[in-house]
Amino acid sequence: MRAALFVTCLVDQLFPAAGEATMTVLRRLGVSVDVPIAQTCCGQVAFNDGFWDEARPLARRHLDIFEHADAVVAPSGSCAAMVREFYPMLLRDEPALMERAQAVGHRTYELSQFLVDVLGADDAGARFPHRVAYHPACHGLRALGLREQPLRLLGKVRDLEVRRLGGAEECCGFGGMFAVKFESLSSAMLDSKIRAIEGSGADYVTATDASCLMHIGGGLSRRASPIRPIHLAEILAAQ
Amino acid sequence: MKPSPHIDFDRNAREALGNEFLQRALRSAMVRFRELQAPVIAEIPEWQALRAYAHEVKLHTLGRLDRYLQQLEQEVSARGGRVHWARDGGEAATIIARLARGRYVVKSKSMTSEEIHLNEALERAGCEVTEGDLGEYLIQLAGEAPSHIIAPVVHRSKESIAELLSAAAGTPLPAEPEVLTAAARRLLRQRFLRADVGITGVNFAVAETGTIVVVENEGNIRLTTSLPRIHIALMGIEKVIPRVADLAVFLTLLPRAATGQRMSSYVSFITGPRRPGEADGPEEFHLVIMDNGRARIQADAEMRESLACIRCGACLDVCPVFERTGGHAYESEYSGPIGAVITPLYRGLRAAGDLPFASSLCGACGEVCPVKIDLPRLLLELRARVVRERGASWSERIFVRAWTWVMTRPARLGFAARAARMLQRLVRRRLLPLPYPFSRWTVSRDLPVPPARAFRDGWSK
Ligand code: SF4
């Protein structure tokens, strides 16, 4: 099996360890991984904020770059959902592009989705001796329907204890520009999320998305909390 | 909320977040709704299929509205009812005020009548109006707007409700729910018996038979439609459905999504006025069918599905934004995700301010909506329209344009990343202020410390 890594701009620039961990996990499970060098950003930031004209060239680039891959794997449910669910909407006035978007979308997966649904693997061969709370990131959860996959993978990690997170399916309040446009609402949502994480008794909080973890992590750090954010890929890569 | 040229949702949200009572009341009411809804939804194995079916029926009907509305008019008329057409809220209010002029009116809960501020129009026409629904009655006593489709007084404490009812009853009442409900019932019963005109909304209007269907839990609609001599029902053009058989689906979806009930306590089917030989029912039945901006939305292919809404309130109950702002922050009868979608459509993009952006796009609303309205998609569409037609703020435009410019060439990204790392060092030494949007991020959150090397820096190896 061959797959192209869609590393996402956020992981590329701010959380490279999550990108490296994704490579490690995929390779360990026998996937040969390509990293198309020209990739940058899928355009979600602009698209979600209403700047569709600005997002379109980025979508076009993304399709050019990933069109020939058998499978595209991203350490992000949100960016995978952008390609799978939202490119067809963004590109609806250009039927040829939309068709290409649908084709690439069908082959684009979030990491846990790819591991469980495509490879049929729920054991990544990892060991992580810590207590972990899992936050289901919204786009993965609702746009991609990832309910079981991440938990099945976590369940197979040696010495890991999954702690129950109260109100797990409530949004952490990130939402791209929402976090700054409606800073007070976003912070209030983050506050509830952090209280739930603190109440879970976990040492780490994990998710499929670096964006939510950046938000949650920013709040934990501001409170000088000892709980650490960690990307799901990094747990699955740990041994 | 103070009036302003456009809805300032951010300011309203801050105000709501500062109100501790409101925060607690909303949280516990919304959690309670969700806890009631989840099990009765889970027990229907074909729930997803029913949602899809209801969505199809609604969109089918919305595609042929004129045909079904005509059929509805014929059937209502054939059964002795009178149909009135109203282009907008003003016309609808005028028609109803003319029919009710100078009379004593009881009115049951109806979002559509809130939309056109019917009570004011009736009072101007010399009518005395009483809201028959307990929650709406309290809202009327307080002179406020409802703050939730299903729970209009969710923003008020039992103490403040006791004050309202004590004043209405002319005797002090304790803040005990049972005592208060009993007192309200006594006050309302007298009024039902005296009323000449009953006004209701419409949940569904069946074209095939000319039947209007109204659901409720308190029995006040039953009284409103059977005691007074005249019954006037007000509906938006989108409330028509083709067949009686479809009600089986809608009446399964609505109460479960709205209040977590398997069935509403009262479901009234009203087909024309009292017929010869019947013991009760009004002598006159009037159906007012109102457009008020709906036809424009119907013609708007991308937004049409918003008219499928059956006003269950479920999208409000799961919305993390609504849970923290309540309904008044939306400055409209329609709040929560559906309000954020339709207020800009009814009032215009400029008047609605940043409402379409007041969502983290978590998708909880779209997942729960019993008629499968893709609310996050509609918000995204509106955002694109705002940027295209009204224009975003300067700071935002600069940020997004700079971002996309950088991201269209890997070389630019490499350069920008190095520049950002340098600038960040200057910011940390306080030699530079943090620019927008990062300045807003750090109000309550730390920024991540950028790693020494980006992932792409290691690709060449
Ligand atoms: S949009 Fe859907 S969930 Fe929201 S009130 Fe309307 S029918 Fe209910």
Strand partners for B198: B106, B231
Residue to test with chain A: of B10, B349, B362, most A Cβ within 10 A: B362
**Position of tokens 């424009």?**
B296
Determine which residue's CA is closest to atom 2 belonging to ligand 1.
B369
What's the CA gap between A32 and A23, in Å, rounded? 9
* Contact with chain B for residue A175, Cβ under 8 A: yes
Does the Cβ of B311 fall within 6 Å of ligand 1?
yes
Residue B461's pLDDT is what? 47
Q: Kindly indicate the confidence band of residue B324, based on its pLDDT and cuts at 50, 70 and 90.
A: very high
| Range of weakest confidence among A67-81, B53-67, B229-243, B428-442 | B428-442
Residue B2's pLDDT is what? 47
Q: Domain boundaries in chain A?
A: 2-118, 131-237
- Stretch A117-144: mean pLDDT, rounded? 97
Nearest CA-CA partner of A173 in A230, A228, A219? A219
What's the CA gap between A19 and A48, in Å, rounded? 24
What's the CA gap between B122 and B103, in Å, rounded? 9
Query: How close, in Å, is residue A199 to chain B by CA atoms?
Result: 18
Q: How far apart are the CA of B311 and the centre of ligand 1, in A?
A: 5
Residue B450's pLDDT is what? 87
CATH of domain A131-237: 3.40.50
Does the Cβ of B129 fall within 6 Å of ligand 1?
no
Residue to test with chain A: of B361, B390, B413, B421, most A Cβ within 10 A: B361
What's the CA gap between A70 and A34, in Å, rounded? 11
Q: How far apart are the first and last CA of chain B?
A: 60
Query: How close, in Å, is residue B258 to chain A by CA atoms?
Result: 20
Task: Taking the CA atoms of A14, A18, A24 and A26 in sequence, report the sign of the dihedral they define.
Answer: negative
User: Given this chain, do its domains A2-118 and A131-237 carry the same CATH topology?
Assistant: yes
What predicted TM-score, i.e. pTM, was given to this entire model? 0.96
| Run of H or E residues at A18 | helix A16-28
Residue B18's pLDDT is what? 97
- Stretch B435-452: mean pLDDT, rounded? 88
Residue B4's pLDDT is what? 63
Nearest CA-CA partner of B441 in B429, B427, B458? B427
Does the Cβ of B152 fall within 6 Å of ligand 1?
no
| Number of cross-chain residue pairs from A and B with Cβ atoms under 8 Å apart | 190
Residue B460's pLDDT is what? 55
pLDDT 10s digits, A191-235: 999 999 999 999 999 999 999 999 999 999 999 999 999 999 999
Q: Domain boundaries in chain B?
A: 1-43+313-391, 46-295, 396-459
What's the CA gap between A206 and A131, in Å, rounded? 10
Q: How far apart are the CA of B304 and the centre of ligand 1, in A?
A: 14
Q: Kindly indicate the confidence band of residue B433, based on its pLDDT and cuts at 50, 70 and 90.
A: confident
What's the CA gap between B132 and B224, in Å, rounded? 8
Does the Cβ of B150 fall within 6 Å of ligand 1?
no
Does residue A56 sit in helix, strand or coil? Answer: helix
Does the Cβ of B118 fall within 6 Å of ligand 1?
no
Determine which residue's CA is closest to atom 6 belonging to ligand 1.
B309
Q: Kindly indicate the confidence band of residue B1, based on its pLDDT and cuts at 50, 70 and 90.
A: very low
Residue A143's pLDDT is what? 94
Which residues have a Cβ under 8 Å from the Cβ of A99 and sit 6 or more positions away?
none
Long-range contacts (CB closer than 8 Å, 24 or more residues apart) made by B61-67: B61/B240, B61/B241, B61/B242, B62/B238, B62/B298, B62/B304, B62/B305, B62/B307, B62/B308, B65/B237, B65/B238, B65/B240, B65/B295, B65/B298
What ligand 1 atom has the least distance to the C-alpha of B312? Answer: 8
Which residues have a Cβ under 8 Å from the Cβ of A104 and sit 6 or more positions away?
A62, A63, A66, A67, A72, A83, A87
- Reading the block at residue A175, the tokens are 């939402």
**Alpha helices, DSSP H, located in B101-176:** 111-115, 118-124, 134-142, 158-169
Q: Kindly indicate the confidence band of residue B120, based on its pLDDT and cuts at 50, 70 and 90.
A: very high
Contact A138 B441 (CB under 8 A): no
**Alpha helices, DSSP H, located in A107-182:** 111-113, 138, 149-155, 178-181
Residue to mutate (ligand 1; options B317, B369, B374, B375; most atoms within 8 A of CB): B369
Q: Is the pLDDT of residue B106 over 80?
A: yes
Instruction: Please return the burial class of B279, using the count of CB atoms within 10 Å of its CB with bins 0-12, 13-18 and 19+.
Output: exposed
pLDDT 10s digits, A28-38: 999 999 999 99
Mean pLDDT taken over chain B: 94
| Residue from the list A17, A51, A188 with its beta carbon closest to the beta carbon of B387 | A51
Determine which residue's CA is closest to atom 3 belonging to ligand 1.
B369
Instruction: Identify the CATH assignment for A2-118 out of 3.40.50, 1.20.272, 1.10.3470, 3.30.70.
Output: 3.40.50
Residue to test with chain B: of A15, A45, A54, A169, most B Cβ within 10 A: A54
Does the Cβ of B308 fall within 6 Å of ligand 1?
no
| Range of weakest confidence among B150-164, B270-284, B425-439 | B425-439
- Stretch B9-17: mean pLDDT, rounded? 97
ipTM of the complex as predicted? 0.96
| Residue from the list B360, B456, B458 with its beta carbon closest to the beta carbon of A178 | B360
Given this structure, which CATH class describes domain B46-295? alpha beta
Q: Is the pLDDT of residue A64 over 60?
A: yes
Q: Is the pLDDT of residue B226 over 60?
A: yes
Distances (CA, A) of B63 to B245, B264, B376: 19, 29, 22
What's the CA gap between A195 and A187, in Å, rounded? 12
